[in-house]
Amino acid sequence: MTKPADKPQWVRIAEQFEQSGLTQKQFAQQQGLPLSTVQSWVYRRRRQVAAPSAPPVRLLPVEVAAPAMSSAGKMEVLTARGVRVSFTMGTDVSYVAQLVAALERGGSC
């Protein structure tokens, strides 16, 4: 087989390999192609097929007000669903954000 010249042709060859039931070495020999080239295109195709799409960004409505602090140095967040979360000043902000997002989804952390 002559060396495929374009990407779509290589993608088709990688697909043919996937359907062949052969090892990459056997397939490369059968097609008269360098093993490393077959390996590279099979890897690229698998990575492209397996790439999970990122979940869409979901923004939550918030109201900014003066911090509601108790005498013990605590802060509170009231979610849109009406769930009140109290935490100590200095708590990791990303943890609080994940907790609030999970509560808004109705899930758990």
Residue 1 domain flag: no
Domain enclosing residue 106, as ranges? 55-109
Same domain, 40 and 64: no
Same domain, 62 and 104: yes
pTM summary value: 0.42
Q: What is the mean pLDDT of the chain?
A: 79
What's the CA gap between 10 and 17, in Å, rounded? 10
The length of the chain in residues reads 109
Q: Looking at the 3D structure of the chain, how many domains does it have?
A: 2
Can you read off the two tokens belonging to residue 92? 């990791």
Q: Are residues 108 and 59 in the same domain?
A: yes
Confidence of residue 79 (pLDDT cuts 50, 70, 90): confident
Q: Is it the case that residue 68 has pLDDT exceeding 70?
A: no
Residue 31: inside a domain, yes or no?
Answer: yes
Average pLDDT over residues 30-49: 87
Most confident of 24-28, 56-60, 77-81: 24-28
Handedness of CA 88, 94, 97, 99 (dihedral sign): negative
Confidence category of residue 28, pLDDT binned at 50, 70, 90: very high
